Structure 1
């Protein structure tokens, strides 16, 4: 069989298995009654009650406050890490030498080196930021700065230096060059980084539990509380409904930036 047919077919089948099956299971379980959802599977519900389950989740949980808490962490974290990461990547892309190569290697090492949770919590306590949103935002910025540097540095190297030279001749300083020239050209790769970092921050329960757990509601922490409560222990239809509501913003974000994802990955990571 022709490779032009086999490869796309394998890609579609892999996407169906890895994405389609879990998504279908979440949707159909969220539309079932409590009795039908006791054993989650891919079968259709005998009677759809998705809107009823949504109403129950909204009324019986703190999902509204959890949405607000997640947004308060997500928006500043993504904005700060993209800005700092873009400026650092611009410097690393325009400088040459062994020292710059070493700094770049250290900068992207965070992708494979996990942060030390105990040290992180102790440091935030010493700074008086443990249990506060600012401390969590600082932790996210530090953890995901490597991802931005990795994607953006390769993309900046593709931008002709003549554009920056022309801007400097017009009297633009370094900050103005970055904000008015470099950042607009980085939209494809920044869209890719936004998707990845938003996915990490929005679904994070591990680090949020140790830093702001108990003092601030986020969607993963609130879902953990709801799923652990005795009254919701066997209410899989409500838990899957919560998961569905929690996934809506990420799906919307993906739809908005989907055209930029492939170009951002290929231009930033491959070059």
Structure 2
């Protein structure tokens, strides 16, 4: 076996596994172990197992004292309508952009996906929401998320629609179907893989976001799980209580970790399907 073959078959997979363990495995292990330690042991973070396990007590305190149910309600209140809205409007816009040609459409498509690489102007967004009376409101946060991730949805779905034969739409049009009916009955069922991919990715982004929610929802009555974690970790309740902080982090991450574990194949298939053209 020559050097190139040895690298591809043995060394390269070993390097990838080691990197995954270092980058993902160790932080995950540290979070899980620290969440089961006492306050004194958690203040000195290391990879050792706890001398006495406080798993149930820590998670119970984090759940009740950290207002996890209220923060969970806030996260769902913001995330679900934002995801539904960006998928509905994004898929409709993608269908138009995929089935039209010309220089104007190309410019519009470039402008629509420019949000993938251009960061949102946070100060401008906050000032605009204040003028509209939407600052510190869930609806304002929904609009921000829809604007942020519309480019990602259009990028994925437009490429996917271009792989769908145009003859399917022409046959429905001959049968007398209106444009909206063609989209609902013909196009939308074929978009399930890429819509599932976009849904999971956007849910991950919104669920873990604390930066934009801090500026938009800060000071309001509604909070999200990451924003609430920042608040309780900065308060006297969780100060130096790293065991409770890590228990909160595990509780916050658990739902999407489970979803991502079972849906990772769908994510890959949707990305590759939308990248064909």
Q: Same fold (TM over 0.5)?
A: yes
**Which position in structure 1 is the counterpart of 2:258?**
252
Alpha-carbon distance between aligned partners in 2 of 1:105 and 1:42, rounded to the nearest angstrom = 48
Q: Equivalences for 1:194-233 in 2 at 5 Å? A: 194-215=199-220, 216-233=222-239
Q: Which residue, 153, 158, 167 being the options, matches 1:148? A: 153
Report SS of the residue matched to 1:230.
coil
**Cα distance, 1:245–1:36 mapped onto 2, change above 3 Å:** same
Alpha-carbon distance between aligned partners in 1 of 2:275 and 2:10, rounded to the nearest angstrom = 27
Contact 1:150–1:269 under 8 Å retained in 2: no
**Cα distance, 1:12–1:188 mapped onto 2, change above 3 Å:** farther
Contact 1:152–1:189 under 8 Å retained in 2: yes
Contact 1:151–1:189 under 8 Å retained in 2: yes
Q: Provide the aligned length of Structure 1 versus Structure 2.
A: 271
**Cα distance, 1:169–1:122 mapped onto 2, change above 3 Å:** same
**Which position in structure 1 is the counterpart of 2:3?**
none
Which 5+ residue runs of structure 1 have no aligned equivalent?
none
Alpha-carbon distance between aligned partners in 2 of 1:111 and 1:61, rounded to the nearest angstrom = 34
Contact 1:94–1:157 under 8 Å retained in 2: yes
Give the C-alpha shift of residue 2 in structure 1: 5.3
Give the C-alpha shift of residue 104 in structure 1: 1.0
Contact 2:83–2:203 under 8 Å retained in 1: yes
Contact 1:74–1:201 under 8 Å retained in 2: yes
**Which position in structure 2 is the counterpart of 1:186?**
191
Alpha-carbon distance between aligned partners in 1 of 2:124 and 2:21, rounded to the nearest angstrom = 41
Deviates more, 1:105-114 or 1:237-246: 105-114
Which 5+ residue runs of structure 2 have no aligned equivalent?
1-5
**Which position in structure 2 is the counterpart of 1:68?**
73
**Cα distance, 1:19–1:235 mapped onto 2, change above 3 Å:** same
**Which position in structure 1 is the counterpart of 2:121?**
116
Deviates more, 1:207-216 or 1:61-70: 207-216
Q: Which residue, 33, 52, 62 being the options, matches 1:47? A: 52
TM, length-normalised to structure 1: 0.94
Contact 2:36–2:58 under 8 Å retained in 1: yes
